[in-house]
């Protein structure tokens, strides 16, 4: 399926970063933040209600991301992109993750449909700030213009960026193979991209530890860890399996 595909779309979720040590949303958060529900904190209303708590949580999350490294699943997807593009195919990686690990593994032209925690912006001026330029000695952090700084993530209650959304829909409606990796497939609009792909005749693959709402309807289900299943797919493509 993959070998013959002219265009491949891969949608990833938190499960592809789990083996890098970044806990997924629907697993219980360990330690200090265990008492908070990520769904509660990843919401624009939570930020307006308690900007100190929400910015502390994102500061904690990105300090963990910085200590993590891409796992074999990230690297396999970067290699799959290289091989697909080398044979003249197109490859589009859409990720719901905000940790930047796909890019660090070598994936290019990654669409971060839920944004990123690696840059923040001033809520007063809209100016973007790199992490290293932000003073996190107090929370919420503020900019030189006196505005509160927030991470460039898309929170529940916010719209996805138009450009990313258009690309996700157009890539999903023109691909031959749509692969869903490490996502619970419950958050819209990401969860409906696979249906769009199927409605245009794409073949579908899911890689997940356990069944999800889409497992019944995909062509191929690879149940297991992304960091193990994706390298296996590559080995088969390279005739090494």
Is residue 225 close enough to count as binding ligand APR by CB under 6 A? yes
* Cβ atoms of 90 and 8 closer than 8 Å: yes
Q: Active-site residues: which are they?
A: 114
CA 60-130-71 angle, 5° bins? 55
Site string for ligand APR, 109-138 (x = CB under 6 A): -----x------------------------
State how far the Cα of 222 lies from the Cα of 232, in Å rounded to an integer.
10
Is residue 25 close enough to count as binding ligand APR by CB under 6 A? yes
Residues 55, 184, 204, 221: which binds ligand APR (CB under 6 A)? Answer: 184
Alpha-carbon separation of residue 226 from 30, 57, 82, 173, 216 (angstroms): 21, 26, 18, 24, 19
Is residue 143 close enough to count as binding ligand APR by CB under 6 A? no
Residues 38-67 that bind ligand APR (CB under 6 A): 38, 42
State how far the Cα of 147 lies from the Cα of 134, in Å rounded to an integer.
12
Q: Which stretch binds ligand APR (CB under 6 A): 2-10, 21-29, 103-111, 158-166?
A: 21-29
Q: Which stretch binds ligand APR (CB under 6 A): 76-84, 119-127, 177-185, 196-204?
A: 177-185
From start to end of 136-195, where are the E strands?
149-153, 177-181
Is residue 180 close enough to count as binding ligand APR by CB under 6 A? no
Is residue 81 close enough to count as binding ligand APR by CB under 6 A? no
Residues 26, 48, 82, 200: which binds ligand APR (CB under 6 A)? Answer: 26
Neighbours of 90 (CB within 10 A): 17
State how far the Cα of 2 lies from the Cα of 80, in Å rounded to an integer.
9
Residue in the block written with tokens 């019944």: 216
Residues 11, 13, 101, 233: which binds ligand APR (CB under 6 A)? Answer: 13
Is residue 96 close enough to count as binding ligand APR by CB under 6 A? yes
State how far the Cα of 228 lies from the Cα of 232, in Å rounded to an integer.
6
Residues within the interface to ligand APR (CB under 6 A): 13-15, 18-19, 24-26, 38, 42, 96, 114, 182-184, 187, 207-210, 212, 225-226
């Amino acid at each position: 399926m993959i070998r013959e595909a002219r265009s491949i779309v891969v949608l990833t979720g938190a499960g592809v970063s789990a083996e890098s040590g970044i806990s997924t949303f629907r697993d219980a958060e360990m330690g200090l933040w265990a008492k908070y529900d990520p769904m509660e904190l990843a919401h624009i209303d939570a930020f307006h209600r308690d900007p100190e708590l929400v910015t502390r949580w994102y500061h904690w999350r990105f300090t963990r991301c910085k200590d993590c490294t891409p796992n074999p699943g990230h690297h396999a997807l970067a290699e799959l992109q290289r091989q697909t593009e080398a044979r003249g195919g197109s490859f589009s990686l859409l990720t719901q993750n905000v940790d930047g690990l796909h890019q660090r593994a070598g994936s290019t032209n990654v669409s971060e449909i839920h944004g990123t925690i690696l840059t923040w912006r001033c809520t007063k001026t809209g100016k973007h700030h790199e992490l290293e330029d932000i003073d996190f000695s107090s929370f919420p952090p503020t900019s030189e213009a006196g505005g509160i700084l927030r991470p460039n993530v898309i929170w529940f209650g916010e719209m996805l960026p138009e450009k990313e959304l258009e690309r996700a829909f157009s890539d999903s409606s023109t691909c031959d193979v749509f692969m869903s990796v490490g996502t619970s497939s419950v958050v819209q609009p990401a969860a409906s991209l696979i249906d769009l792909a199927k409605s245009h005749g794409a073949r579908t693959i899911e890689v997940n530890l356990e069944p999800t709402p889409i497992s019944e309807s995909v062509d191929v289900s690879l149940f297991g860890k992304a960091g193990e299943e994706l390298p296996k797919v590559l080995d088969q493509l390279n005739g090494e399996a």
